[in-house]
Chain A
């Protein structure tokens, strides 16, 4: 384990340094005595699982939180940021993980909101167009955010920071929503910035990217800095071990399985767009067989939620003939009817969709588990039975909970996700349909959830997994299809395609991947970029 003293005794002083940063929330110590330093022009990673204290730390750096102990130094002088405006005035820019953009406002209005009061008055529209083109990420200042893809939204955030000529740019999990091509493009921009002397603080748990982009990494685990390493000198596996603390268990899709019978089939599913931000489904067809995990890749906003609502029955087509489980036509059946046929669903949003935050775990277990034996007797809920059911789920799925039967809102994101996935898997459904099963979940919990889905498939169930995480799809899916602009690609054997190929399908006909996609769809790109 290598640790370096934060203040490198050489001159000049680091751009930003933290000394003994400690932050407590009640009994929880989110950051404990963290020392940290970043040099001008350095690409530095903060690595850690969810809950390791990364977010707390960068919020302190950005002035959203104040440390209980310890202090920050900017270019060798002690500073305190009591709010983000002060941090920005100093030259710190931040791109958030969940974008802090205003959907109903235009690109220009969004950027204007983030500018300091003393920003020179000028034609902001022209400035945005020029600056974004300069970095090869063209933007139209008049577009309303709601009409942009996730990748384009991130560009808005980046350009918003760049206009203030930052000397330190903080990127919080920036690649979690991007295709491989978009990620490469982002890294080009970041390298370009670093060359110009802007330091980049890159928060991530994707270790390949950390190695690819950054030169140093500070690794946090449980709120404590466990190491500061030169990323070139460590393997991804070593980084992962530092981050997780014990050996990482990897699983690989077992591709040598026999194809069972088809358990769920979609034939030419068409769903119109109901609102301005809906994506119409244009003739989606798929089949998933017993023992198979079908991964549906795609960038968010290409029809995932619409597809999920059709697969689960929350939205139903007007006529029969589109959705089947074995030989039963379920097109007109609602979610309850489909559950009775032994299908199970885990929607993407755990708070308020998969689970009711203000209800206890046992009540949440009851919401989809009321068919289980003994839970409801003659219409009366058997609370001891529901509690037992919830506790079985928690035990099986390693849900860490503060009390016997806590409110769902009392659980961390990862634990609640384990619970809602576990709740469905415990019923051993014939078909499990799950959307973004490990979104915002730490590595250990994500691994657990993926293992559970793989086990379910091994026992002969079929799994449809809609996910934006390509690594996840390649890890456990036997077959892969890509959802792009409401159309589903053909289904590929996962052993016969590469992440690169899938990434290309995901980016197709979006103007996100200028230069790397077939020229016919290249609408707005200003300059040619390196070939893939």
Chain B
């Protein structure tokens, strides 16, 4: 029983980890992409479509990631190329992704696919309690590996330093000869790919069918998670498990008839995020790793 619960929590947290890590990279470069929900939905519908056409869930993963990246590119063209307002463009992307995924996915409703199966690791998977950590699927392990790689690249490599520098002060980075828009474009694309993967996880692992709007707000939780994790990849995992746990808790609460309204529990991730935001504004941005030029457009005029 406890094993099952733990496994469910872990599985719920994976799409959050994927999408939030991607968004974290984009935000570290200074771009706030509020279109995560839309990108996830595009990832979800494409992953389902590809998996259902080919019968191969791994092609579904790739298709989901690429679809997320393609809509992210549209966002990048507007925000970076045409310097449109990031908040408005991000919101538009969410609405666009929701609509387009519904349109593409209409013929897919009601179909079923073979999702990703869990990888069985001898001995490890049979361990009591911690065995659930080794009963996950390939994409879940990939998510953990990506977090580790992102953390390493951001903090230990020159490429990561440049990305952070662009997010902290694009004018200085430009003056040093770094290509601000190019760095941001790549970061946004990565963010889109990861959001696509996060979306793909839903029909491939969690519920093996497609339903319109099936992310049901996970994109927004991922966005909140980046702030909650104060832009540190390691904390994204912890936060995702916490947020994922709360999501499961509300189901459990309903099933067992606990006296806690489920709405109260589903509010918790956002509430925790607001607390973190308050801490950030009262303690100063720098300790919290908040990129100073987040959401500010760069125009290389001089």
- Residue positions of A touching B, CB distance < 8 A: 59, 63-65, 83-85, 88, 96, 99-105, 109, 112-114, 117, 144, 146, 275-277
Contact = CB atoms under 8 A, between A and B. Distances in A.
B176 A104 contact: no
B interface, by DSSP: helix, strand, loop or mixed? Answer: helix
Q: Kindly name the residue among A63, A105, A112, A144 whose own CB sees the greatest number of chain B CB atoms within 10 A.
A: A105
A256 B11 CA distance: 82
Given A113-B162, A146-B286, A88 B177 contact: yes
B175 A105 contact: no
Interface in B245-302: 283-287, 289, 292, 302
A113 B176 contact: yes
B277 to A, nearest CB: 16
B165 interface: yes
The 9 closest A-B pairs by CB, nearest first: A84-B177, A100-B172, A85-B177, A100-B175, A104-B286, A102-B168, A276-B284, A275-B284, A104-B168
A304 B203 CA distance: 58
A104 B292 contact: yes
A378 B173 CA distance: 51
A102 B165 contact: yes
B165 A277 contact: no
Given A83-B177, A84-B177, A102 B172 contact: yes
B176 A84 contact: yes
Contacts of B161: 105, 109, 112-113
Nearest to A55: B302
Interface of B: 158, 161-162, 164-165, 168-169, 171-173, 175-178, 283-287, 289, 292, 302
A interface, by DSSP: helix, strand, loop or mixed? Answer: loop
Contacts of A63: 177
A147 to B, nearest CB: 10
A25 to B, nearest CB: 9
17 contacts: A59-B302, A83-B177, A84-B176, A84-B177, A96-B175, A100-B169, A102-B172, A103-B169, A103-B286, A103-B292, A113-B165, A114-B176, A117-B158, A275-B284, A276-B283, A276-B284, A276-B286
A144 B286 contact: yes
Contacts of B172: 99-102
B180 to A, nearest CB: 12
Q: Kindly name the residue among A84, A112, A113, A146 whose own CB sees the greatest number of chain B CB atoms within 10 A.
A: A113
A114 B161 CA distance: 11
Contact of A100 (B162, B164, B176, B287): B176
Contacts of A103: 168-169, 286, 292
Nearest to B301: A25
A154 to B, nearest CB: 14
A117 B178 CA distance: 12
Nearest to A109: B161
B177 A276 contact: no
Nearest to A160: B176
B33 to A, nearest CB: 21
Contacts of B292: 103-104
Contacts of A146: 286
A310 B228 CA distance: 35
Contacts of A100: 169, 171-172, 175-176
B88 to A, nearest CB: 18
Nearest to B158: A112
Nearest to B285: A104
Contacts of B285: 104
Nearest to B179: A83
Q: Kindly name the residue among A84, A85, A104 whose own CB sees the greatest number of chain B CB atoms within 10 A.
A: A104
Contacts of B178: 113
Contacts of A104: 168, 285-286, 289, 292
Contacts of A113: 161-162, 165, 173, 176, 178
Given A63-B177, A109-B165, A113-B165, 9 more contacts: A83-B177, A85-B177, A102-B168, A104-B292, A105-B165, A105-B168, A113-B176, A275-B284, A277-B284
A172 to B, nearest CB: 11
Contact of A64 (B158, B164, B175, B286): B175
Contacts of A112: 158, 161
A85 B285 CA distance: 30
A212 B175 CA distance: 29
Contacts of A99: 172
Nearest to A113: B165
B169 A102 contact: yes
A146 B165 CA distance: 14
Contacts of B286: 103-104, 144, 146, 276
A100 B173 CA distance: 8
A513 B187 CA distance: 43
A176 to B, nearest CB: 18
Contacts of A275: 284
Contacts of B302: 59, 64-65
Contacts of B158: 112, 117
A100 B171 CA distance: 7
A64 B164 CA distance: 22
A401 to B, nearest CB: 21
A83 B180 CA distance: 13
A241 B158 CA distance: 49
A105 B284 contact: no
B298 to A, nearest CB: 14
Nearest to A117: B158
A111 to B, nearest CB: 11
A115 B169 CA distance: 17
Q: Kindly name the residue among A65, A99, A276 whose own CB sees the greatest number of chain B CB atoms within 10 A.
A: A276
A524 to B, nearest CB: 23
Contacts of B164: 105
B159 to A, nearest CB: 11
A144 B164 CA distance: 14
B153 to A, nearest CB: 15
Nearest to A63: B177
B162 A276 contact: no
A144 to B, nearest CB: 7
A90 B112 CA distance: 63
Nearest to A85: B177
A512 B37 CA distance: 51
Nearest to A99: B172
Contacts of A114: 176
A109 B168 CA distance: 12
A86 to B, nearest CB: 8
A174 to B, nearest CB: 16
B287 A276 contact: yes
Contacts of B173: 102, 113
B165 to A, nearest CB: 5
B285 to A, nearest CB: 8
A114 B174 CA distance: 11
Nearest to A112: B161
Contacts of A96: 175
B16 to A, nearest CB: 26
B163 to A, nearest CB: 11
